[in-house]
């Protein structure tokens, strides 16, 4: 692995953890080097749910949970 890529990954602990969970990226980084870093970052964002759609889904789930809790509280109150 190129020294610059290695140093970059050490500065980005989330990317390093993603690579440890998805070891195929070691092969890509060894073969292509810094060329695949943008794709790696994009895949890591999808994996961690940091894309807009991932955040939207998480907020939607939280709203549904709050709505359910309110409904349960109203049922218990009656």
Per-residue confidence of the chain (78 residues) as pLDDT tens digits? Answer: 789 999 999 999 999 999 999 999 999 999 999 999 999 999 999 999 888 888 889 899 999 999 999 999 999 987
Read off the pTM: 0.70
**Spatial contact of 38 and 8, defined as CB atoms under 8 Å apart:** no
Beta strands in 1-78 (DSSP E): none
Token pair 């070891």 is found at 23
């Amino acid at each position: 692995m190129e020294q610059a890529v290695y140093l970059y990954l050490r500065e980005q602990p989330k990317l390093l953890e993603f690579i440890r969970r998805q070891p195929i990226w070691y092969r890509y980084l060894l073969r292509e080097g810094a060329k695949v870093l943008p794709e790696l970052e994009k895949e890591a964002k999808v994996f961690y749910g940091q894309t807009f759609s991932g955040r939207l889904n998480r907020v939607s789930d939280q709203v549904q949970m709050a709505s359910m809790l309110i409904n349960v509280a109203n049922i218990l109150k009656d």
